[in-house]
Amino acid sequence: MHQGMGLLHLAPHEFWRSTPREIAGAFGSPSQPVNAQVLRQKLDAMTEIWPDRPSHREADEKEN
């Protein structure tokens, strides 16, 4: 609601008739497809820098 009526200044009836995709499209470029390969490379790079720590349960299972 904040994005639609606050930032986009849509009237309430315009906001409630909009789809979530239309609201999201107003804040990004729907003409630019998401490059899944680039996103995966970024995710892999971040997990190298900040790897997930095993939960206590996972650590206990490895010990047994």
By the 8 A CB rule, do 5 and 12 touch? yes
More confident residue, 41 or 2: 41
Q: Is the pLDDT of residue 57 over 80?
A: no
Predicted TM-score of the model (pTM) = 0.40
Interval 58-62 mean pLDDT: 66
Q: What is the DSSP string of 2-64?
A: IIIIIIS---HHHHHHS-HHHHHHHHS-TTS---HHHHHHHHHHHHHHSPPPPPHHHHHHHH-
pLDDT digits 0-9 by tens, 8-56: 888 999 989 998 888 888 877 656 666 777 788 888 898 888 888 776 6
- Residue 30's pLDDT is 58
